[in-house]
Amino acid sequence: MGEPLSRIVLRHPVHFLAFGFGSGLAPRAPGTFGTLAAVPCYLVLRYLPLPHYLLLLIAAFALGIWLCGRTAEALGVHDHGGIVWDEFVGFWLTMTLAPPGWLWLLLGFLLFRLFDVLKPFPINWLDRRVGGGLGIMLDDVLAGVFAWLCLQLLARSGIFPIGL
């Protein structure tokens, strides 16, 4: 019998990061738990100047291609549900330039999860056709772009007060 997944993930720094600091080990809805684990990081990162935030996003995306690809290869599963670094990056992308306040954090979380789970076209198309670490990262980044667009439209619509 092989080594338990939790032991593999928690003992190897690459897998530990790919599994979102272990949040991807959740027995149900690991993507949701991964996104939840990305929230405290965002609450710190949001204070970065925008150029630094964007550079960090690009670096996290590039790192994610390597992390997720390496972990998927080690586990022998293309996009293991527990690999959630892509959720971190997708959520952080969603929250780029988000208005301050808990309502906006909640809306960003819900919108990102909605697009990540439903995978509307072209997200589903990319998800099926692009392999490796890039494929793992791309569908969540695109879900983040869709969620970002919706969040920005809501912010500019005036439906919800800014700062709430």
Q: What is the pTM of this model?
A: 0.93
43 inside domain? yes
Mean pLDDT value across residues 23-52: 96
Question: Which residue type, as a one-letter code, is found at position 145?
Answer: V
164 inside domain? no
73 inside domain? yes
Q: What percent of the chain has pLDDT over 70?
A: 97
Give the model's pLDDT for residue 127: 81
Better-predicted residue by pLDDT, 95 or 121: 95
162 inside domain? no
How far is residue 22's CA from residue 98's CA, in Å, rounded to a whole number?
A: 27
pLDDT category of residue 1 using cuts at 50, 70 and 90: very low
163 inside domain? no
63 inside domain? yes
Give the count of domains, the chain: 1
What range does the domain containing 93 cover?
5-157
69 inside domain? yes
Burial 48-68 (b: 16+ CB within 10 A, else e): eeeeebeeebeebbebbbbbb
pLDDT category of residue 31 using cuts at 50, 70 and 90: very high
114 inside domain? yes
pLDDT tens string 53-96? 999 999 999 999 999 999 999 998 888 889 999 999 999 999 99
